Amino acid sequence: MNDRIHFTKGHGTENDFVILDDPDGALELDAATVAALADRRAGIGGDGVIRAVRTRRAGIEAPADAPEWFMDYRNADGSIAEMCGNGVRVLAAHLQRAGHVREDEFAVWTRAGARAVAILQRPPSHGGTWSVRLGMGESRSTQNARTVEVAGHMLSATDVDMGNPHTVAFLPSGLSLEELDLTRRPALDPEPVDGANIELVVELGQRHVVMRVFERGVGETRSCGTGVAAVAVAAALRAGDDTGQPWTVDVPGGRLQVGWTATGEVTLTGPAQLVAEGATLV
C-alpha cells in the first residue's frame, strides 16, 4: 500500500465509496490496496473504491472525444467493475466540490462508456445532500431460462445489461423480502460467464417496487444504482409498461427514481452525499 493516501468518503442511498482524488494518475491502485481501503474493520470502509482521474492520465484506452474525467471503479474485493450508477453520482458531487468541474451538466467516462450527469441541486455548504440525475445509457434485457434459488424457491429471472450484468427476480406472494438471508449469494442456474449482480424485487404499487441486491464482488449492499435501473427496466417489461413514465425504486438505503428519455436512454435520479475526508496512515 502507498505510504499515505488522501480520500473522501461518500454515499448514494447508503451505497458507500472511498473516493481517491488522482487527477494526474499518480496512484498505483492494485487489488490489495483497494481491498485494504474498503475493509470496514481495518480500513476506511466502503462498498467500493473510486479513483477520480483524468481520462488521458488513467492508463486506459479511450476515444479521442472521451470526457475529461474517468471513474476508475473497483469493487470492495479489488475486482474491476464496468459501471456503478450510485458511484457516478457521488463522483459528480466530488468533482464539483473539488473544483474540477464547474458546470451543472457534464459527462464522465466509465468502462461502460460516457455517462451524462446533471446536478439538480447542490447543498448550501460543504455538507448536505446533492441531487444528481445520471444518464445510464440504453438497457438490454433478456427473458431466458435462468433461475435464481432463494429460500428454497427457484424463481425465473430476467437478465438486464446496464453496462454491467444484472439478474432480476420477482418474489412470489408469501415470500418476505425483508426476511431473506442474503449473507450468502443466491445460486443462479445457469451461472453467467462473467457473474452477475442479483436483484430480488417485490411490487408495492403502480410503478413502485422495493428491492434488495447482492452485488458481484461485494455482497449485499444498501443500494445499487445500476441494479435499481435494471429492476425498473425489468418491472416495466413485466408490467407491459411502455409509457416511459418514471418508476420509483425503494432500497434499504433510500429511494431512487428511474426514467427514460425520448430516445430510450435510462436515467437515474437520487441523492449523493459527501460525509468525510482525510488520509490513511499506512
Residues belonging to the active site = 84, 224
Is residue 151 within 8 A of residue 178, CB to CB? The reply is: no
Q: How many CB atoms lie within 10 A of CB 273?
A: 19
192 secondary structure, DSSP code: P
DSSP states along 76-125: TTS-B-S--HHHHHHHHHHHHHTTS---SEEEEEETTEEEEEEEEE--SS
Query: In the numeric block, which cell numbers belong to residue 70?
Result: 474517468
11-50: b (≥16 Cβ within 10 Å) or e? bbbbbbbbbbbbeebebebeeebbbbbbeeeebbebbbbb
Bridge partners, 69 (sequence order): 54
